[in-house]
A and B are shown apart, each in its own frame.
Chain A
Amino acid sequence: DAGVTQSPTHLIKTRGQQVTLRCSPKSGHDTVSWYQQALGQGPQFIFQYYEEEERQRGNFPDRFSGHQFPNYSSELNVNALLLGDSALYLCASRTGLTAQETQYFGPGTRLLVL
């Protein structure tokens, strides 16, 4: 049973560029959340998708957008990259909308903005 997978593992971009990160949830999971983990910090919630809609959003600007596909996989898009967007981006999945269900995290995509 494959767990949560993310691609790419590493990425280097320059300021002003756009980036797309991808996530495939654990088999049987339909809810995907994205987190940003800056170096030396805990992960910060970006947003959550369920039934192809954004259900919740954290305190991130509109430059951060996402999408969920019918197969429950998800993309995170970041436009107009800033140096401060350099971080590990984590995807987490679980079943349904019940907050108490355990969320499973992927290995992350490490983004470096130069």
Chain B
Amino acid sequence: RKEVEQDPGPFNVPEGATVAFNCTYSNSASQSFFWYRQDCRKEPKLLMSVYSSGNEDGRFTAQLNRASQYISLLIRDSKLSDSATYLCVVRGSNYKLTFGKGTLLTVNP
């Protein structure tokens, strides 16, 4: 089983839609979780960390379910500028940082 598995997508949604991405991880000792955003041919950039209690940043909500070993990202009221690849990242206890394959989101006018 891969260490981090992510919805393959791609997702094509209209502006204003709500879209959710999921990611599962295999190591129950994983310590930190993140969502990164990557625009075409650019380096990934931190979108948000994921906390046990769930956290929100504007239109973005991240959740962690340790019992089921998955994290999720919800984007509400999608904008054209949200079009990008979304990557989940899991940190192990030894500072190993593993990425999911990424999910491509295209928001259409």
Q: Do A and B come from one complex?
A: no
